[in-house]
Amino acid sequence: MNRAERIFHLHRLLKARQPPSLSRLMEELNASRATINRDLEYMRLFMGAPIVYDRNTNGYRYDPAAPEFELPGLWFNHSELHALLACEQLLEEVQPGLLSPYIGPLRARIRKLLGQGGASAETVRARVLLRSIARRGVNAESFGTVASAVLGQRQIRIDYTGREREETTTRTVHPQRLVRYRDNWYLVAWCETAGNPRIFSLDRIETAHPTDEPARDLPADGLDRFMNASFGIFSGEARAWAVLRFTAHAARWIENETWHPDQIGQWHGDSYELQVPYSDPRELLMDILKYGPEVEVLAPRELRRETAERLRAAAARYQTMT
């Protein structure tokens, strides 16, 4: 029984005419003394429940002198709610296939969990929305092959077209992880052609061919360093730190954002300075440019020059307007 289920049972027992003792609560909920005490304290602190101990009956109840207490309409925290909604949304996107017999029961379970938040699953889904933007379509067959190879630890051969050169190459890769980043899917794999780990955008995999060859298994800590050392999806060892100065207006958003786990943010007078490590500037440039005049690149010089060139090129497109 999870905490949500225990709290609903606790709520029912605490409203009963006869205050339940701690031993009865432990028996009814099949939980330890410490767990019951933590749940009671959670209800007091985070839900405002007026729970009191009645010495005369050696039991717990809601304070009769307090206003009548009901569980909040929705009491998932933000991360729990996001996780459940994200899971259901991802299941909505799954194409019919081998997993079809399992998708229905899994979605039903998630909806049941959503309903335990105090509102029906339908109400939660209708009123709390996760919006995807700039999501790129992925070939369902290729996705299935890649996902199976990741979980089965088998090599695959892929026909991949990179965006920079628009050249299609065939390569053998050793899948390590499947990553969903900014509403799009990526494969982290050891590439035999490159001789090092690479990240492949699934929407650029033209075809994926399974093999029976075992995949090289890279150490988890090494993969973590590869993926987290620098800003964005263009992973790898950071080669520079970007120093960005935002206006006070833009800082209303920026100071609460996490661009990278190792970022450094601090106020300098009326401006906010953000420092982030990066390897490849492409994604970082896109995020910088969307703030237009609200941000200035202070360092490094190469990133500042590239940002200025792109802004000048953009401005030149509008100079011919009448």
For 178-203, what is each residue's pLDDT tens digit? 888 887 889 999 999 999 999 999 99
Contacting residues for 59 by C-beta, under 8 A, at least 6 apart: 18, 19, 20, 21, 24, 53
Distance separating alpha carbons of residues 271 and 264, to the nearest angstrom: 14
Q: Which of 50-54, 77-81, 121-125: highest mean pLDDT?
A: 50-54
pLDDT of residue 93: 62
Q: Are 223 and 177 in contact (CB under 8 A)?
A: yes
Q: Which fold has domain 3-62?
A: Arc Repressor Mutant, subunit A (1.10.10)
| Range 105-134 average pLDDT | 68
Q: Select the more confidently predicted residue: 238 or 115.
A: 238
User: Is 2.30.30 the CATH classification of the domain at 140-228?
Assistant: yes
Of 24-33, 53-62, 100-109, 259-268, which range is least confident? 100-109
> Could you give the residue range(s) of every CATH 2.30.30 domain in the chain?
140-228
- Greater confidence, 215 or 124? 215
Q: Specify the pLDDT at position 61.
A: 95
pLDDT of res. 69: 87
Q: Which is more confident, 75 or 66?
A: 66
Contact 167, 174 (CB under 8 A): no
Quick check: 319 pLDDT over 90? no
Write the DSSP assignment of 88-109 as a string of letters.
HHHHHHPPSSTTHHHHHHHHHH
Residue indicated by tokens 């005490």: 37
What proportions of the chain, in percent to the nearest 5, are helix, strand and coil?
Answer: 40, 25, 35
Do the beta carbons of residue 36 and residue 22 sit within 8 Å? yes
What pLDDT score was predicted for residue 225?
86
State yes or no: pLDDT of 222 exceeds 60.
yes
**pTM surpassing 0.85?**
no
Residue 164 confidence (pLDDT): 77
The pLDDT assigned to 5 comes to: 79
Average pLDDT, the chain: 85
Least confident of 15-19, 98-102, 236-240: 98-102
Q: Which range among 77-86, 97-106, 142-151, 212-221 has the greatest average pLDDT?
A: 212-221
Q: Cα 193 to the chain's mean position, in Å?
A: 31
pLDDT computed for residue 98 by the predictor: 46
Rounded CA gap, 8 and 214, in Å? 48
Residue range(s) of every CATH 1.10.10.10 domain in the chain: 3-62
Q: What is the pLDDT of residue 58?
A: 94
120: pLDDT confidence band, cut at 50, 70 and 90?
Answer: low
Residue bearing the bigger pLDDT, 115 or 319: 319
Q: Which residues pair with 168 in a beta bridge?
A: 161
Evaluate if residue 9 carries a pLDDT over 60.
yes
